[in-house]
Amino acid sequence: MKKVTLQIDGMHCAGCANAVDKQLESLEGVQTAQVNLATESAVVEYEGDISMEVFSDAISKAGYTLVQDETETKSKADQVEEREQKKLETARQNMILSWVPTVIMLGWMLPMWLAGYMLLGPVGMELGMIILSGFAIFVPGWETLKSAWKSTKNLSPNMDVLIAMGALASLSTGIVVLLHHLGIGPEFHSFAMIGGMIMAFHLTGRYIETKAKGSASQAIRKLLTLGAKEASVIRDKEEVKIPVSELKIGDIMVVRPGEKVPTDGEVIEGESSVDESIATGESMPVEKSKGDEVIGATLNTNGVLKVKATKVGNETFLNQVIKMVEEAQGSKIPIQDFADQVTKVFVPIVLLLSGLTLVSWLVFPGFFGGLVEWASNFIPWVNPEMSSVSLAFYAMIAVLVIACPCALGLATPTALMVGSGLGAENGILIRKGEAIQRMKDVDAIVLDKTGTITKGKPEVTDVITFGDVSESDLLKWAAAVENNSEHPLARAVVNAASERNIDIRSSIGFEAITGKGVKAILDDGAVGIGTSSLMEELGAEISDDKSSQKQQLEEQAKTAVFVSKAGNLIGILGIADEVKSDSKEAIAAFKKLGLKTIMLTGDNEKTGRAIAAKVGIDEVIAEVLPDQKSNEIKKLQEAGKVVAMVGDGINDAPALTLADVGIAIGTGTDVAIESGDIVLVKGDLPGVLRAIKLSKATFTKIKQNLFWAFFYNLIMIPLAVIGLLHPLLAEAAMAFSSINVVFNSKRLSATKLD
């Protein structure tokens, strides 16, 4: 299965998105197509080979245009910025151009409203109104008319159809009145000026909406501009500057204080602090030295670093993040399904309703006329003096322009767009939008032990010596033996010696004895590290009190090993995968939220319970193999629990996938974890709390948006049907509803997650 994100130009409402969706899903090999109105993009999953030309043809058939990147000449950031500016400038020009004739018409009508004086007389005035209004409709409003025609031709009528019909119907009344003045047509009330004003209000709303959507999508644009433009690399023993796009894996980069790290890599020389806030949301700089990973686009703050490039182009951390955010913004969540079903039939239903409104007014003029007469006492724009036919047209036009599927279409994607961007800024990458909705129902959180609750890296925690042996000597001799092994426990001993600046000696005759330990010969005797049975073989006697000390360490979830030298027991080393400093606090916060906490571990019951007791976890499921973890998740779900699983995304992949919400702990630059619904760049449990808060805040915004979108239509459409809503107020209210949804979503960006 392949996945591609397509940028689409020309979509204005939910009807547009549905039309593109239908055409893309009709292509052979396409499994799903999720079209996002807010980002004007589509995420398509497909099998086989489908060329961009095929996608382009399908989108063109729906009446829209596929935007293809000019990767050879411009950066993606520049292209996005250029598209946004061009779209905004076009919307601004159309808005201004529509208001020029509208203002002239208002000025022309003013003497008549104030003193009953008609400049150029009835015929001249009506002709002028038709020309000026026609200009507003056919010049700046031409794209709206064209979009309406294309969508109608493709049997997928969109919002522009309602605007076009409302504006043209209004204009046509002016032509009827003009013909009447010339002695040809019937007597009628002219709404010609209203036609141009409908288009002016519509284009004003579109301009404000375009500006608001651009503002709401700042997060993704910010990500696109974060990377460095140039890199200083060593070529032929000389330092040269090259564009980042020319970097290759293995290049040695020189990163000075105040410069951005050009791409993901490994420090091979130097020490410095690096500000990784753009990746993790963590404000404190992180110390870096030889062997440490660095992330492209992070900021080197003080020392000079030499970094070997390990990832370039689309494989870098930043590009993976951008890809994830784009896909999250293009995904759909369950609550959107109902809104989507409504928007698919919305325009045809409104067209039918407007026709029924016209017929009803003509069939029951007395009933509707009575309502208008009554309302005229307190609503200034209601005019009972118009003929019943004119009032019928008045109500029909209002119904056409008040009904708005745009707010419904924007309600979910704009909130998801802002929420996923906010998450990316805080090291929370939402891969699947449905996790936003599911997270609010989670009542059990399952935590992998190693690398999630603990650091995932064994460390020497206790050095117990016997006799005259010092801690330094014990570590010196133990490290000399363990330096021959790559076992994680052996590396913990060697690291402990290195951290204390102890010189690690060489040894001979190294031997690993399965199930017992290791031994080797130093220049001053044989050293053994391991179990009590190995000590017995080496002639080292273990007294009850020393055995008791080892047992005490094991009760603390530590691996305890004896150390002997020349046949004498000289000490015990306690080695443990230490609990992360913030795990206990985070687990207490989970419980405060009412979540049942469960540890899932492959370790033995004793170790698991000791760790659980340290951090305050409710339940332990121990001695579970990686491929059995998903069965434990399934059991919890069968017991009625909605489960969030937190793991490292490697051996926990099946469990993360099966869980209602899978939260994968990222590791440095490795963010391409396919099994998690949510990926935490910084591998800490407080990140899970931030993800929960983000999910709840985003879903709350989605519910608010959907409520106001539905409420607006439910209140306004009946008022338009009974003739109590002026078409201009209807159009202004329609534009406001969409703008309100976008700005309400934008407020999400101010949410504090810590």
Q: Measure the CA–CA gap between 133 and 127, rounded to whole angstroms.
A: 10
- Mapping DSSP to helix (H, G, I), strand (E, B) and coil, where does residue 265 land? strand
**Measured between alpha carbons, how far apart are the two ends of the chain, in Å?**
38
Q: Measure the CA–CA gap between 543 and 554, rounded to whole angstroms.
A: 17
| Exposure string for 640-676, b = 16+ CB within 10 A, e = fewer | ebbbbbbbbbbbbbbbbebbbbbbbbbbbbbbbbebb
What is the four-CA torsion angle of 320, 323, 329, 333, rounded to 10 degrees? Answer: -80
Which helix (H) or strand (E) segment holds residue 233: the answer is strand 230-235
Closest CA to 35 of 53, 52, 57, 10: 10
Catalytic residue among 160, 251, 448, 648: 448
What is the four-CA torsion angle of 67, 71, 75, 81, rounded to 10 degrees? Answer: -10
513: which strand partners?
Answer: 517
Q: Measure the CA–CA gap between 573 and 175, rounded to whole angstroms.
A: 97
CA 676 to chain CA centroid, nearest Å: 14
485, 512 Cβ separation under 8 angstroms: yes
Secondary structure E strands in 452-516: 454-465, 508-513
- For the four alpha carbons of 17, 20, 23 and 27, in that order, the dihedral sign comes to negative
Secondary structure E strands in 479-516: 508-513
Sequence-ordered alpha helix ranges (H) in 576-628: 583-592, 605-615
656, 638 Cβ separation under 8 angstroms: no
563, 463 Cβ separation under 8 angstroms: no
545 a catalytic residue: no
642, 438 Cβ separation under 8 angstroms: yes
- For the four alpha carbons of 193, 194, 198 and 200, in that order, the dihedral sign comes to positive
Maximum Cα interatomic distance, the chain, rounded to a whole number of Å: 126
Instruction: List phi, psi (to 5°) of 101.
Output: -65, -30
286: which strand partners?
Answer: 274
Catalytic residue ranges: 448
